[in-house]
Chains A and B, each alone.
Chain A
Amino acid sequence: MGLEIKFIERELHPIMYIIVPLGAFSLAFLCGGVLMSWAGVNPISGYEAFISGAIGSPVKFADTLVRTTSFLLMGVGLAFALRARVFNIGAEGQYIMGAIVGTWVALLLQENLPPSITIIASLTMAMIIGGLWAGFAGYLKATLGINEVVLTVIMNWLAFKLLQWLLRGPLKNPLSEMWPMSPPIQAKIPVIISGTRLHLGFILAVLIAIGGYFLMFKTNYGFKLRVAGMNPDAAKYAGYDVRKIIISSMILSGSLAGLAGAIEVLAVYHFLYEGISIGLGYTSIIVALVGKLHPLAIIPSALMFGALYNGVVYLQSALGVSYTLSKAMEGMIYLFVLISEVFLKYKIRIIRR
Chain B
Amino acid sequence: MEKPIVSMRNIVKRFPGVVANDHIDLDVFKGEVLALLGENGAGKTTLMNILYGLYRADKGEIYIDGKNVYFKSPKDAIAHGIGMVHQQFMLIDELSVVENIMLGLKEYGLVLDLKEAVKKINKLAREMGFKIDPWQKVWQLSAGEKQRVEILKAIFRNVKVLILDEPTSVLTPQETRELFKIIKKLIANNIAVIFISHKLHEVMEIADKIVVLRKGKVVGKLSREQATPQLLAKLMVGREVFLEITKRPKKPGHVVLEVKNLKALSDKGVLALKGISFKVRAGEIAGIAGVAGNGQKELAEVIYGLRKPLEGKIYLFGKDVTHKDIYERIRIGISLIPENRLGLGIVGEFSVAENLILERIDEQPFSLNIPLLSRLNIKKINDQMLLKYSRELIEKFSIVTPSPFAKAKTLSGGNIQRLILARELGRKPGFIIAEEPTAGLDVSATEYVRKLLLEMREQGYSILLISGDLSEVLSLSDKVMVMYEGEIVGAFRPEKVSLDDVGLMMTGVKRMPREVIEKIWD
A interface, CB within 8 angstroms of B = 3, 6, 8, 215, 218-221, 223-224, 226-227, 230-231, 233-234, 236-241, 349-353
| B366 surroundings in chain A (CB, below 8 A) | 220
Which residues from B are CB-within-8-Å of A220?
361-362, 366-367, 377-379, 381
Residues from chain B with a CB closer than 8 A to the CB of A233 are 343-344
Chain A residues in 8 Å Cβ range of B338:
237
Chain B's interface size range is 35 or more
Given A220-B379, A223-B361, A352-B112, A234-B344 contact (CB < 8 Å): yes
Q: Tell me the complex Cα distance, A234–B342, Å.
A: 9
Query: Are A349 and B112 touching (Cβ within 8 A)?
Result: yes
Distance A221 CA – B376 CA, assembled complex (angstroms): 9
Which residues of chain B from 317 to 360 have a CB within 8 Å of any chain A CB? 325-327, 329-330, 336, 338, 343-350, 354, 358-359
Nearest-Cβ distance from residue A55 to partner chain B, whole angstroms = 36
**Docked complex Cα distance between A227 and B348 (Å):** 10
User: How far is the CB of A352 from the nearest CB of chain B, in Å?
Assistant: 6
- Cβ contacts A to B, 24 pairs, < 8 Å: A6-B99, A8-B92, A215-B378, A218-B381, A219-B373, A220-B379, A221-B377, A224-B361, A226-B350, A227-B347, A230-B349, A230-B350, A234-B343, A234-B345, A234-B346, A236-B306, A236-B326, A237-B304, A237-B306, A237-B336, A238-B358, A241-B325, A352-B111, A352-B112
Tell whether, in the assembled complex, residue B367 and residue A351 are in contact, meaning their CB atoms are under 8 Å apart: no
Closest A residue to B334 by beta carbon equals A239
Nearest Cβ on chain B to A93's Cβ, whole angstroms: 25
Give Cα A223 to B367, complex, Å: 11
B381 & A238 in contact (Cβ 8 Å cutoff): no
Closest to A248 in B: B376
Residue of B nearest to A8 (CB): B92
CA A226 to CA B381, docked complex, whole Å: 14
A224 to chain B, nearest CB (A): 7
Roughly how many angstroms separate A6 CA and B343 CA in the complex, as a whole number?
22
Residues on A with C-beta less than 8 A from B349 are 230
Output the nearest chain A residue to B346 by Cβ-Cβ distance: A234
Most chain A CB within 10 A, of B349, B359, B380, B381, is at B381
CA distance A227 to B347 in the complex (A): 7
Contact of B381 among A223, A236, A349 (CB under 8 A): A223
Contact with A along B113-141 (1 / 0, CB 8 A): 11100000000000000000000000000
User: Chain B contacts of A231 at CB under 8 A?
Assistant: 343, 347-348
Indicate the member of B330, B338, B345, B347 with the most A CB atoms within 10 Å: B347
For the complex, give the distance between the alpha carbons of A218 and B368 in Å: 11
A6 in contact with B306 (CB, 8 Å): no
CB distance from A217 to the nearest CB of B (A): 9
Which residues of chain A are near B370, meaning CB under 8 Å? 219
Interface SS of chain B: mixed
B114 touches A353 (CB 8 A): yes
Task: Verify if B271 is at the interface (C-beta below 8 Å from A).
Answer: no
Q: Are A218 and B345 in contact (CB under 8 A)?
A: no
Structural contact, B344 and A237, CB atoms closer than 8 A:
yes
Asked if B110 is an interface residue, CB under 8 A from chain A, the answer is yes
A349 to B362, CA, bound (A): 43
Complex contact A234–B358 (CB within 8 A): yes
Q: Given contacts A220-B361, A230-B347, A230-B349, are A351 and B381 in contact (CB under 8 A)?
A: no
Q: A227-B347, A234-B344 given as contacts; is B99 within 8 A of A351 (CB)? A: yes
A219 to B111, Cβ gap below 8 A?
no
Confirm or deny: B255 has a beta carbon within 8 angstroms of a beta carbon on chain A. no
A172 to chain B, nearest CB (A): 39
> Whole-angstrom distance from the CB of B88 to the nearest CB of chain A?
14
Contact of B359 among A218, A230, A239 (CB under 8 A): A239
B103 CB within 8 Å of chain A: yes
What is the chain B residue whose CB lies nearest that of A244? B377
| Distance (whole angstroms) from the CB of A343 to the closest CB of chain B | 14
> Contact between B347 and A221 (Cβ–Cβ < 8 Å)?
no
Q: Is residue B95 contacting chain A, with contact meaning CB distance below 8 A?
A: yes
Beta-carbon nearest neighbor of B110 in chain A: A350
Contact present for B380 and A219 (CB under 8 Å): yes
User: Taking CB as reference atom, which chain B residue is nearest A228?
Assistant: B347
Identify the closest chain A residue to B354 (Cβ): A223
Contact between A351 and B362, CB atoms less than 8 A apart: no
Q: A6-B99, A231-B348 are in contact. List 15 more A-B contacts (CB 8 A).
A: A6-B95, A219-B367, A220-B362, A220-B377, A221-B379, A227-B347, A230-B349, A230-B350, A233-B344, A237-B344, A238-B359, A239-B326, A241-B327, A351-B99, A351-B111
B378/A219 in contact, CB under 8 A: yes
Q: Which 4 A-B pairs have the closest CB atoms?
A: A239-B327, A239-B326, A238-B358, A220-B367
Cβ-defined contact, A350 with B111, below 8 A: yes
B430 nearest CB across to chain A (Å): 16
Which residues of chain B come closer than 8 Å to A240, judged between CB atoms? 327
Q: Report chain A residues within 8 Å CB of B354.
A: 223
- Taken together as a complex, chains A and B put the C-alpha atoms of A334 and B95 apart, in Å, by 31
A5 to B349, CA, bound (A): 28
Inside 8 A of A241's CB, which chain B residues have their CB?
Answer: 325, 327
CA distance A351 to B380 in the complex (A): 48
Contact with A along B471-499 (1 / 0, CB 8 A): 00000000000000000000000000000
Interface centre among A6, A224, A233, A238 (most CB of B within 10 A): A238
Nearest residue (CB) in A for B383 is A218
Chain A: minimal CB distance from B220 (Å): 36
